[in-house]
């Protein structure tokens, strides 16, 4: 298949590379110059005009709106019948607006955000949650199976982004609790590595302990998913919860802690750097 891929960031580049290595003809466009194994297009129009599938992997809702809905954007150049798959993490309302605009010009649309971080993108082992029609989801399966190991259709347009918001709520809350546990253990002079080993083997076991605890113990926060982006995602969670009248008291506190991490200058670090905020709350003045 000919695939246009727009957005070669931390996640997008390995995803697009995996599609090339799977045998697809991938034309990629990125605002800044990036080295890429496939074809680098000089514009959005050049990337998407002949594409069967168009994938966008962008930072936030305004970026998707500009790239997809703008005067020189995806929908202005995509062929009728093309399949647009937005794999960014954006507001559910934006995903629904994109789906409506796409339908008006004969383009099929899915919102299919991902979870798994940079390593999941590199390994082709992302969790993909897709919103849109069942037929369009089945048409996209050949692409999804290159990129992810868990691929699920979760409902109509906007549903993928709603599930992703719930994912980010759980991940942030779990990071916060792991950070509290590590700070608590350190305050009692417990050896952290064996403590994490036993916690991970019991009911407290979770993927944050498995994948993030070692870096948190070492205070190594090389970004797999940045504080800045998780702060953005929690904003989506808060807005969507308010819209639906859903109470998320723990999520609201976690969102404030993530905002504090960003305000303290940790935005470019991995989201596990939330530990630094928790630790700072326990230090004597």
Angle, helices 159-187 vs 274-282, to 10°: value is 40
Q: Tokens for 60, please give them.
A: 């936030």
Q: Tokens for 219, please give them.
A: 């205070």
Q: By three-state DSSP, how is residue 20 classified?
A: helix
Q: Smallest Cα–Cα separation from 55: which of 81, 93, 37, 29?
A: 29
Alpha-carbon distance of 103 to 92, in angstroms, equals 17
Q: Smallest Cα–Cα separation from 142: which of 85, 89, 209, 197?
A: 85
> What residues contact residue 145 under an 8 Å CB cut-off, 6+ apart?
151
SS (H, E, C) 121-142: HHHCCEEEEEECCHHHHHHHHH
Show the beta-strand stretches assigned E in the chain.
Answer: 2-6, 25-29, 39-40, 53-56, 83-86, 108-111, 114-115, 126-131, 148-155
Residue 164 is a catalytic residue? yes
Active-site residue identified among 164, 226, 230, 271? 164
Which sequence positions are flagged as catalytic? 164
């Amino acid at each position: 298949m000919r695939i246009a891929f727009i957005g070669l960031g931390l996640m997008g580049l390995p995803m697009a590379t995996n599609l090339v290595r799977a045998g697809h003809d991938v034309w990629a466009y990125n605002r800044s110059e990036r080295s890429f194994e496939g074809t680098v297009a000089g514009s959005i129009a050049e990337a998407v005009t002949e594409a069967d599938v168009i994938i966008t992997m962008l930072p936030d809702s305004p970026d998707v709106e500009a790239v997809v809905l703008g005067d020189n954007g995806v929908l202005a150049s995509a062929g009728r019948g093309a399949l647009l798959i937005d794999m960014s993490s954006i507001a559910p309302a934006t995903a629904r607006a994109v789906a409506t605009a796409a339908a008006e010009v004969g383009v099929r649309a899915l919102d299919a955000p991902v979870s798994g971080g940079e390593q999941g993108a590199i390994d082709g082992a992302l969790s993909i949650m897709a919103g849109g029609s069942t037929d369009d989801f089945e048409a996209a399966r050949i692409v999804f199976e290159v990129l992810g190991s868990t691929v699920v259709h979760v409902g109509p347009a906007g549903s993928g982004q709603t599930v992703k918001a719930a994912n980010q709520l759980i991940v942030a809350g779990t990071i916060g609790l792991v950070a509290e546990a590590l700070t608590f253990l350190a305050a009692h002079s417990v050896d952290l590595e064996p403590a994490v080993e036993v916690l991970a083997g019991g009911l407290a076991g979770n993927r944050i302990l498995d994948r993030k605890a070692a870096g948190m113990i070492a205070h190594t926060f090389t970004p797999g998913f940045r504080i800045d982006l998780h702060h953005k995602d929690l904003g989506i969670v808060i807005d969507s919860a308010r819209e639906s009248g859903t109470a998320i008291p723990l999520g609201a506190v976690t969102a404030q802690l993530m905002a504090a991490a960003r305000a303290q200058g940790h935005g470019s670090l991995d989201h596990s750097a939330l530990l630094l905020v928790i630790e700072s709350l326990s230090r004597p003045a």
